[in-house]
Amino acid sequence: MATALTARDFRNALGQFATGVTVVTVEREPGSVFGMTANAFTSVSLNPMLILVCVDERAKILPLLHRKKHFGISVLKQGQQAVSEYFAQPEQHSEAEHRLGLRYRWTAEGVPVLEDTVVQLSCSVVATHVAGDHTVIVGKVEEADIQGGEPLLFFRGEYRHIARP
Ligand SMILES: Cc1cc2nc3c(=O)[nH]c(=O)nc-3n(C[C@H](O)[C@H](O)[C@H](O)COP(=O)(O)O)c2cc1C
């Protein structure tokens, strides 16, 4: 008889899928930014150009996404584990951002993105779907700025980097 899948089994199974690491950014107040690390990110559609990101129902960024309807996605570079960890914790301070050397750029649409990352997308929220304990945020990509460099990877709960075969 098959044993029931536990939450741990589920996490372990899904952790076998290697992903990049993104930071979702929203303007909290004029000139100030709130971000959240997310690897549940994927492209959705070419025409129109859509992406999605899955956000925990308890995440502080969720009400901001609903309210602002615009957000940035920045794909982290190899070596930016500390940036990933920073945006995965609830408290965000300008001193800590200064120490990490974080810089934001405002896109033409007025969306904050993280400088010094592989690619930065400026998105508008076109749909939201509650799915279990997460909300799927579907975003229309208004602008993409590729800066290049090697990406940070996340695999089996650990940070990795790309190696050529
Ligand atoms: C590598 C990594 C990937 C993550 N991916 C997601 C994700 O896709 N969606 C999500 O809701 N949380 C994700 N998290 C967790 C959030 O970053 C984190 O729990 C959240 O920012 C906690 O802050 P809160 O106080 O807003 O809940 C991820 C964390 C890490 C370290």
Cα–ligand 1 centroid distance for 1 (angstroms) = 35
- Model confidence at 109, pLDDT cuts 50, 70, 90, reads confident
Q: Whose CA is nearest to atom 15 of ligand 1?
A: 88
pLDDT at 2 over 80: no
Average pLDDT value for residue range 108-126: 96
Is there a contact between 40 and 92 (Cβ–Cβ < 8 Å)? Answer: no
Q: Quickly count: other Cβ atoms within 10 Å of residue 20's Cβ.
A: 16
**CA–CA separation, 121 and 95 (whole Å):** 25
The runs of H, that is alpha helices, within the chain are: 7-14, 61-68, 81-86, 94-100
Residue 135, both tokens: 């909300």
Answer yes or no: is 7 within a domain: no
**CA–CA separation, 138 and 136 (whole Å):** 6
**Amino acid 149: pLDDT:** 96
Return the minimum-mean-pLDDT range out of 2-6, 57-61, 75-79, 81-85. Answer: 2-6
Answer yes or no: is 161 within a domain: no
Cα–ligand 1 centroid distance for 38 (angstroms) = 5
Please give all residues whose beta carbon lies within 6 A of any atom in ligand 1, as ranges: 21, 36-40, 54-56, 58-61, 84, 88, 90, 154
Average pLDDT value for residue range 2-17: 94
Among 17, 23, 24, 36, say which to mutate for ligand 1: greatest number of ligand atoms within 8 Å of CB: 36
Answer yes or no: is 106 within a domain: no
pLDDT at 45 over 70: yes
Q: Whose CA is nearest to atom 7 of ligand 1?
A: 38
Mean pLDDT score of the chain, rounded to an integer? 96
Nearest ligand 1 atom to alpha carbon 84: 31
Answer yes or no: is 40 within a domain: yes
Answer yes or no: is 69 within a domain: yes
Percent of the chain with pLDDT over 70: 99
pLDDT at 3 over 90: no
Answer yes or no: is 104 within a domain: no
**Amino acid 1: pLDDT:** 63
Q: Whose CA is nearest to atom 13 of ligand 1?
A: 38
Answer yes or no: is 81 within a domain: yes
| CATH code assigned at 39 | 2.30.110.10
What range does the domain containing 45 cover? 20-87+112-149
- Model confidence at 31, pLDDT cuts 50, 70, 90, reads confident
Number of domains in the chain: 1
Answer yes or no: is 116 within a domain: yes
